[in-house]
Amino acid sequence: MYQILKKVQLNENNIEMEIAAPYVTRNAQAGQFIMFRLNDKGERIPLTIYDWSKERGSISIIFQPVGKSTRELAQLKTGEALNDFVGPLGKPTTIKKYGTVVMIGGGLGIAPLYPQARAFKEAGNRVISIIGARTDALLILKDKMAAVSDEIHYATNDGSIGVKGIVTDVLKDLIAKGVKIDHVVGIGPLVMMHAIQKVTKENNLDYTASLNTIMVDGTGMCGACRASVGGKTVFPCVEGPDVSGNLVDFDELLLRNKRFEKEEKDAMDRYEHKEVKAAAAAHTADSCIHGYVHELSKKIAAGEAHAENGDGTRSGKKVPMREQEADVRNKNFDEVSLGYNEEEAVTEAKRCLNCRKPACVAGCPVGINIPEFIKLIEKKEFAAAADSLKNYNSLPAVCGRVCPQETQCEEKCIVGKKNEPVAIGRLERFVADWERENIKEHKIPQITPNGKRIAVIGSGPAGLTCAGELAKMGYGVTIFEAFHVAGGVLVYGIPEFRLPKAIVQKEIDYIQSLGVKIEFNILAGRTLKFDDFTKDGFSAIFVATGAGAPQFMNIPGENANGVYSSNEFLTRINLMRSYMFPKFDTPIFTGKKIAVVGGGNTAMDSARTAKRLPGTEKVYIIYRRSFEEMPARLEERYHAQEEGVEFVMLTNPVEVIKNERGYVSGVKCIKMELGESDASGRRKPVPMPGSEYVIECDTFVVAIGTSANPIIREASPPDIHVNKWGNIIADPETCQTSISYVFAGGDIVIGSATVIEAMGAGKRAARGIDEFVKAQK
């Protein structure tokens, strides 16, 4: 919790708050911002940093209560606290000696302008400040700005102080008087910064604008903040907020900042009338959050549920797993697959041959003793089976649900040579669920502390696994997580209907029961650098941040309102619960027709999620190859088809069509045909000239993959080695990087992969770290 140390009403509109946030102050600089979240249902709101004190461990912000979240923030008193406060975010302002720098701030923009003006002054520049507001009474920080300026000018709409007019009137006057201007900085409303751009472009002046865009996470993961700068898409949360002001497409950005106007107005109306209603009757909180509500499942046909045939031989088919009916589940967020009961699990376990040389174990990235735990199920020793699993896998309930067993352990199963392989994943899930429902306290192994501390960056599957393994070895482990909850992709990426978040939390509870600590709201590369971890006494660092930066298609119209990266779309819905807006504060806009481009599991997750949203009529998956060549799990593809998702194969989007308000109205596509095989072994899709056509839609979700987030590289000294895609290069066996005390594994090393592959990396990293630390004695 982040306590309010001071609260001052500056004027009728603006409030200053000083917040206790010692981690944030360690690397805070001018030009950066924070994101706050008031409570468990709140959205993440960005606010620029006005000032900071390392001695007090505090950050100061100035804000105007205009929306629901800032109005609720304004109601808090000194001594009360915010749930979450993460930063510093964004790149700091580049401070150097230009000569004469004109600092222009409007309204609340004056707050972040102040530390920048101070820094430019300290760097030896002549600082001319122009600050404006509607009236003198609303003009903030006049004395402080004057103290860091060689010359200061005011502009007010009513002329109550300074020039009657706007800040650009003063800028034009300075230019007309022949003042030599070497650099201009503008911070304030977008319309003001757009107006500055017109003046600076006309007069060939260098101009830096600080963009205040809509954000969800503020860490570069979702792309919600993206803006066009010089014809290229940039993410202001990680590449800014300072950008070249003369190159910004402000017309586009002004439209993008209006994309949730209706939802925000609805939220304010409810707030002002003290009404909080569910987003839709069919999507109540109880229905969406808590799984296992229906036994509306497929009936298991007589005979199919038996592992043995009438003559005592083993059945060739898996015991089917019960599921919600498709036309029921596509209207709720409850878990689709309902798991085995005891009888079904024992029946399926009897199909295992208990091979002397089990090939299935070799197919498991974390090396689970598969025959052992399955034999214990057959003997109905479920608690022992759970202990067996936990010896190798700290997240069995997760793996049993989302790991692609069909291409790993089950692919190696001897039974599968002639029949369907043993349902290893379903049995793993059964054991984990049985333990959760029947064993009240975790069975903790005997741990002898060794006095050494390890920092793990990221709480996804790789980080959690590494932390758990190291804790068992006796290390004091702290996980540093950028978000306000642990789990990484398990919570923000994978939908509730595939992986209930309560189950993920139970797995995390087990990791914490081993003594692992979790620090939230710490973004490595911004909040803390690698040097900070070593200064704090950590012997080694494991980087497990994933490959979280979204990729876009770079086609015309891709910044239209209604275009989401799959990361943004799923994060809004999975992590921030926007499907229950306005009961939860984070909004989402979707229309009646939603198109998703991509063929992987994330595309399936996006499309199936879209199908469940209120008001959705049609959902399309657009993929440039054929159904058979889609990389998504076959089970996920079939589930999507059953739920009514329409597959548009051998088709590729080439342009997003938008209406006069800047919203998506359709996607222009071209038909493809398959040519020669490419490096992946799949036939390369080739466009068919003249086959273009338009698919009508209101929303377009881009699910074509992710790349390494560049922020983590800013946490390290310059000698950490990365490949051409920005992934950290690490030894495949030890996970050690070019910096001896830094280890890395999972998607940040190999790119987007599976949960179980990330967990395998976490286990290898734990062994590598243990060997490294012991060698330092």
Flag the least confident range among 276-280, 433-437, 696-700, 717-721. 276-280
Q: How far apart are CA 651 and CA 434, in angstroms?
A: 44
Q: How far apart are CA 207 and CA 204, in angstroms?
A: 9
Q: Which pLDDT band holds residue 285 (cuts at 50, 70, 90)?
A: very low
Q: Which pLDDT band holds residue 316 (cuts at 50, 70, 90)?
A: confident
What's the gap between Cα 728 and its chain centre?
A: 19
- Class of residue 693 by CB neighbours under 10 A (exposed 0-12, middle 13-18, buried 19+): exposed
CATH architecture classification, 2-83: Beta Barrel (2.40)
The per-residue pLDDT for 443 is 77
Residue with tokens 């058979």: 628
Written as six digits, the tokens of 116 are 């920048």
Q: Which pLDDT band holds residue 307 (cuts at 50, 70, 90)?
A: very low
Which of 451-455, 586-590, 707-711 reaches the highest mean pLDDT? 451-455
Bridge partners of residue 244, in order along the sequence: 208
Residue 401 phi/psi, 5° resolution? -100, -40
Which is nearest to 360 in space by CA: 411, 400, 406, 398? 411
Which of 107-116, 220-229, 443-452 reaches the highest mean pLDDT? 107-116
DSSP 209: E
The per-residue pLDDT for 314 is 56
Q: How far apart are CA 369 and CA 740, in angstroms?
A: 32
* Kind of pairing between the strands at 183-187 and 646-648: unpaired
Give the tens place of pLDDT for each residue, 713-725.
Answer: 888 777 799 999 8
Q: How far apart are CA 764 and CA 746, in angstroms?
A: 11
Written as six digits, the tokens of 529 are 């650098």
The per-residue pLDDT for 266 is 79
Residue with tokens 């699993």: 389
The per-residue pLDDT for 299 is 33
Residue type, 560: A
Share of residues in the chain with pLDDT > 90 (%): 83
Terminal CA-CA length for the chain: 38
Q: Where does the chain hold its CATH 1.10.1060.10 domain(s)?
A: 287-438
Give the tens place of pLDDT for each residue, 454-491.
Answer: 999 999 999 999 999 999 999 999 999 999 999 999 99
Classify residue 768 as left (phi > 0), alpha (psi -120 to 50) or beta. alpha
CATH architecture classification, 453-548+708-775: 3-Layer(bba) Sandwich (3.50)
- The mean per-residue pLDDT over the stretch 130-148 comes to 96
Written as six digits, the tokens of 431 are 């054991």
Report whether pLDDT(303) > 50.
no
SS3 119: helix
Q: How far apart are CA 769 and CA 775, in angstroms?
A: 10
Q: How far apart are CA 461 and CA 399, in angstroms?
A: 10
Average pLDDT, the chain: 91
**Position with higher pLDDT, 292 vs 425:** 425
CATH ID of 550-706, from 3.40.50.300, 3.50.50.60, 3.30.70.260, 1.10.3720.10: 3.50.50.60
Residue 524 phi/psi, 5° resolution? -65, 135
Q: Where does the chain hold its CATH 3.40.50.80 domain(s)?
A: 100-257
Report whether pLDDT(293) > 70.
no
457 CB-side CA count, 13 A: 31
pTM over 0.95, yes/no: no
Residue 32 phi/psi, 5° resolution? -95, 170
The per-residue pLDDT for 33 is 97
Give the Cα-Cα-Cα angle 40, 46, 51 (nearest 5 degrees): 115
Strand ranges, E, within 286-326: 322-323
Q: Are 621 and 593 in contact, with CB atoms under 8 Å apart? A: no
List C-alpha distances in Å: 605 to 296, 445, 640.
Answer: 22, 36, 9
Q: How far apart are CA 556 and CA 553, in angstroms?
A: 9
Q: How far apart are CA 39 and CA 713, in angstroms?
A: 31
**Residues written for the chain:** 777
Which is nearest to 713 in space by CA: 732, 727, 725, 730? 727
Instruction: Quickly count: other Cβ atoms within 10 Å of residue 753's Cβ.
Output: 17
Residue 128 phi/psi, 5° resolution? -110, 120
The per-residue pLDDT for 282 is 38
SS3 367: coil
Flag the least confident range among 185-194, 242-251, 280-289. 280-289
Which is nearest to 583 in space by CA: 222, 217, 215, 283? 283
Q: How far apart are CA 542 and CA 529, in angstroms?
A: 13
Give the tens place of pLDDT for each residue, 491-522.
Answer: 999 999 999 999 999 999 999 999 999 999 99
The per-residue pLDDT for 274 is 59
- The mean per-residue pLDDT over the stretch 341-357 comes to 94
Q: Where does the chain hold its CATH 2.40.30.10 domain(s)?
A: 2-83
Q: Are 427 and 377 in contact, with CB atoms under 8 Å apart? A: yes
Flag the least confident range among 264-273, 338-347, 438-447, 723-732. 264-273
Q: Where does the chain hold its CATH 3.50.50.60 domain(s)?
A: 453-548+708-775, 550-706
Residues 304-313 as b or e (16 or more Cβ within 10 Å = b): ebbbeeeeee
Close Cβ partners of 551 (under 8 Å, ≥ 6 residues apart): 565, 702, 704, 705, 706, 707
**Position with higher pLDDT, 384 vs 259:** 384
| Cis, bond preceding 582 (omega within 30 deg of 0) | yes
Give the tens place of pLDDT for each residue, 385-442.
Answer: 999 999 999 899 999 999 999 999 999 999 999 999 999 999 999 999 999 999 888 7
Report whether pLDDT(665) > 80.
yes
- The mean per-residue pLDDT over the stretch 631-636 comes to 93
CATH topology of domain 287-438: Fumarate Reductase Iron-sulfur Protein; Chain B, domain 2 (1.10.1060)
Q: How far apart are CA 194 and CA 243, in angstroms?
A: 13
The per-residue pLDDT for 544 is 95
Q: How far apart are CA 152 and CA 139, in angstroms?
A: 13
DSSP 489: H
Q: Are 479 and 517 in contact, with CB atoms under 8 Å apart? A: yes
Q: How far apart are CA 77 and CA 7, in angstroms?
A: 7
Q: Are 209 and 113 in contact, with CB atoms under 8 Å apart? A: no
List C-alpha distances in Å: 187 to 34, 215, 228, 488.
Answer: 16, 17, 18, 33
Per residue, the 3-state secondary structure of 445-485, as one string, reads CCCCCCCCEEEEECCCHHHHHHHHHHHHCCCEEEEECCCCC
- The CATH class that applies to domain 100-257 reads alpha beta
The per-residue pLDDT for 315 is 65
Q: How far apart are CA 457 and CA 467, in angstroms?
A: 10
